[in-house]
Amino acid sequence: MTTTSPALGPLVAVYGLVGHDERLLLVRDSGTTARCLPGGLVPAGEPVEYALRRILWHQVNSHIAHLDFCAAVELPGHPGAGGEPEVYELALLFDVTLTNPSSIQAGHGEALWVTTTELDHVDLRPAGLAERLRVGGLTGEHPWWPADS
């Protein structure tokens, strides 16, 4: 009898939507010139909130004063059997208030503050998440963004 390992579920990532003075905080994506929301992958066994607090401290040297869950976004991977997309990442987005956002300077620690207009001209990753942010799909009424929508 041949057995195969079941496919692993999606990777879980956590990102902070950090706003200040009508601008959104972005950081440099490791190893590229692209930008991303502050955050990253959640290691197995680490609570999501702890991961976000740890990652933001590492990325922008700032503490979180308050956070609220905003949305969950399925980011599709390579086509699977039958042509259906596989989900390779489940991104959890949180509205984040930093203790001292004005201390984060553009360019310092790879941080960049952008306006909504500037967001359209930034190479923002992951692309599926960037697309959702640019079309204004983030609302309290629609906290789940499935991969096929």
* Percentage with pLDDT > 90 across the chain: 40
Quick one: pLDDT band at residue 10, thresholds 50, 70, 90? confident
CATH classification (class only), 11-141: alpha beta
Q: Closest Cα to residue 118, out of 100, 105, 106, 108?
A: 106
Question: How confident is the model at residue 6, as a pLDDT?
Answer: 46
When pLDDT is averaged across residues 3-27 and rounded to a whole number, the result is 81
Tokens 């390779």 — which residue? 88
Specify whether the CB–CB gap between 138 and 72 falls below 8 A. no
Quick one: pLDDT band at residue 148, thresholds 50, 70, 90? low
In Å, how far are 5, 75, 88, 99, 133 from 148, measured between CA atoms?
A: 26, 9, 13, 36, 16
Residue 43 confidence (pLDDT) above 90 = yes
Quick one: pLDDT band at residue 4, thresholds 50, 70, 90? very low
Compute the mean pLDDT over every residue in the chain, rounded to the nearest whole number: 81
Kindly give the residue spans of alpha helices, DSSP state H, lying in the chain: 48-60, 116-119, 127-134
Q: Quick one: tokens of 85?
A: 């997309």
Question: How confident is the model at residue 49, as a pLDDT?
Answer: 96
Full-model pTM: 0.81
Quick one: pLDDT band at residue 3, thresholds 50, 70, 90? very low
With H, G, I as helix, E, B as strand and everything else as coil, classify residue 77: strand
Quick one: pLDDT band at residue 105, thresholds 50, 70, 90? low
Return the domain boundaries, the chain: 11-141
What are the pLDDT digits (tens) for 47-98?
Answer: 999 999 999 998 888 899 999 999 898 887 655 555 655 657 889 999 999 9
Quick one: pLDDT band at residue 114, thresholds 50, 70, 90? very high
